[in-house]
Amino acid sequence: MRVKICGITKPEQAAAITAKGANTLGFICVESSPRYVTPHQLGAIIEQLPPQVDKIGVFVNAATTEITTLVAQTGLTGVQLHGEESPDFCLQLKEALPDIELIKALRVKSAEFLEEATPYFSSVNTLLLDAYHPQLFGGTGTTLDWESLALFSPPIPWLLAGGLKPDNLIYALSQLSPQGIDLSSGVERAPGDKDLDKVSQLFQQLQIWKANQP
C-alpha cells in the first residue's frame, strides 16, 4: 500500500513521517495555499530525504515551463496536477518530463463523474480521487462517497484522497481497492503542521487492516 502524506512544509516532520513508513511525500507548489513551500524550502527538504521516497510537487493550472523548471531546481520525482488540466496538457507534460511520475487528481462530484477519468488513462501514470469543493482544490477534509466508487478499477494505479484520517481508514479500504492513500488535513494540527501522533495512528490502523486481509 502506497502511503502519501501531502502538504509537508517542515524538514523535521518530513524526516519523521518517512521514518514512520510513508513512502511518498507531497509538497504544495501553489502560492495561494496555506501549505505552500518556496522552491528554496522544497529543495532543502528533498535534499535530506532518502532516495527511495517519492517526492511529489502539487500544482494547480500551472504552465509547463513553471513545472519543468521547479522539477529541475528541486529534485522532485513526481508531479501532481490538481486543477483543470486537460488530458492533452498531461500528455505534453509527460513527454516533457519522461522520467517523472505524473499524477492527475480528479475532484469527484459523483460516481458518474468518474467517466471523465477515462481520457487520462493514457496520458498520466497515476490517478488520485479527491473530494469536490467548488472553491478549494484539495486539503478540505471532505470525504468521498466511498460506496458509490466501489466499482472504480482503472487500468493504471490510483490513490484515494479526500477526508481520510486514522479513524475512518479501515472503513474506506473495506469499500475500495486503491493502490495507495493520500492524507493531508487528516494528520494535521494546522495547515502544513503535521501531527506525528496522528501519523503513528494511521500506520497502526494500516497494520490492523493488513492483518485482516485474506
Q: What is the DSSP string of 136-193?
A: --S---PPP-GGGGTT---SS-EEE-SS--TTTHHHHHHH---SEEEESGGGEEETTE
All three cell numbers of 67: 513545472
Residue 137 has pLDDT above 90, yes or no: no
Q: Which of 93-102, 111-120, 121-130, 176-185 has the lowest mean pLDDT?
A: 111-120
SS3 assignment, position 123: coil
Say if residue 162 is exposed, middle or buried (CB neighbours under 10 Å; 0-12, 13-18, 19+): buried
The letter for the amino acid at 142 is T
Considering only CA atoms, give the Rg of the chain.
Answer: 16
Active site residue ranges: 6, 130
CATH number of the domain residue 101 falls in: 3.20.20.70
pTM value is 0.93
What's the confidence (pLDDT) of residue 135? 43
Residues 168-183 have a mean pLDDT of 94
Q: How many domains does the chain have?
A: 1
What's the confidence (pLDDT) of residue 142? 58
What's the confidence (pLDDT) of residue 151? 79
SS3 assignment, position 109: coil
Give the span between the Cα atoms of 51 and 48, in whole angstroms: 9
**pLDDT band for position 191 (cuts 50, 70, 90):** very high
More confident residue, 40 or 147: 40
Beta carbons within 8 Å of 153's beta carbon, 6+ residues apart: 177
pLDDT tens readout for residues 12-68: 999 999 999 999 999 999 999 999 999 999 999 999 999 999 999 999 999 999 999
Residues 64-84 have a mean pLDDT of 97
The letter for the amino acid at 93 is L
Residues 175-198 have a mean pLDDT of 96
End-to-end CA distance of the chain: 15
Domain assignment of residue 55, given as a range = 2-211
Residues 170-180 have a mean pLDDT of 93
Q: Tell me if 52 sits within 8 A of 29, measured CB to CB.
A: no
